[in-house]
Amino acid sequence: MALVLKENLNLHQVIKLEFKNPRAIKNKTTKNMKKTILMSALLLAGAAFVQPSVAAISSDVIEISMQEEKVQINPNDLPDAVKATIAADESLQGAAVFEAWKITKEDDSVHFQVIFTSAEGEKTTKTYDPDGNEIKE
């Protein structure tokens, strides 16, 4: 290390200024090195003792069954009994058939879902069996 002497300072004062606490510098460097080596050793040891885990595979069988089949049909294709029930229903006077659906359940039973639109634009849905009886849901 090069020491620079200043005019009013003697050599002893310069050494005190340049090397205020040489042990503190050495201790700080040593502590940092110790921490680095210790952390590296812990990381290496941790990686060495980790056991790989295998995800459990479920062998349960999932059964998917068809609950119902819903097919849109032309309102003219509704059974005559359903058309007669709709024509006789006073609550549907002035309402037009908006959509008609044929729904087949899992047990092969069939019913018809009809969506009506009133003159005010409100939609009403009613469900009928093939004999024209209204099914209350």
> What is the CATH number for 95?
3.10.450.360
pLDDT, tens digit (0-9, with 9 covering 90-100), for 26-85: 566 677 778 888 888 888 877 777 776 666 665 556 655 567 788 899 998 999 999 999
**Token pair listed for 32:** 């940092």
Cα 132 from chain centre: 44
What pLDDT was estimated at residue 16?
56
* Residue 83 located in a structural domain: yes
**Token pair listed for 126:** 């009613």
Please state, for a pLDDT cut of 70, what percent of the chain lies above it: 66
Structural domain for 28, as ranges: 11-48
pLDDT, tens digit (0-9, with 9 covering 90-100), for 66-79: 677 888 999 989 99
User: CA-to-CA distance for 132 and 135, rounded, in angstroms?
Assistant: 9
Closest by CA position to 89, among listed 132, 119, 36, 28: 132
Are 118 and 74 contained in the same domain? yes
CB 76 within 8 A of CB 100: no
Q: Is the pTM of the predicted complex or chain greater than 0.85? A: no
Closest by CA position to 67, among listed 108, 96, 102, 29: 108
* Residue 58 located in a structural domain: no
Are 73 and 130 contained in the same domain? yes
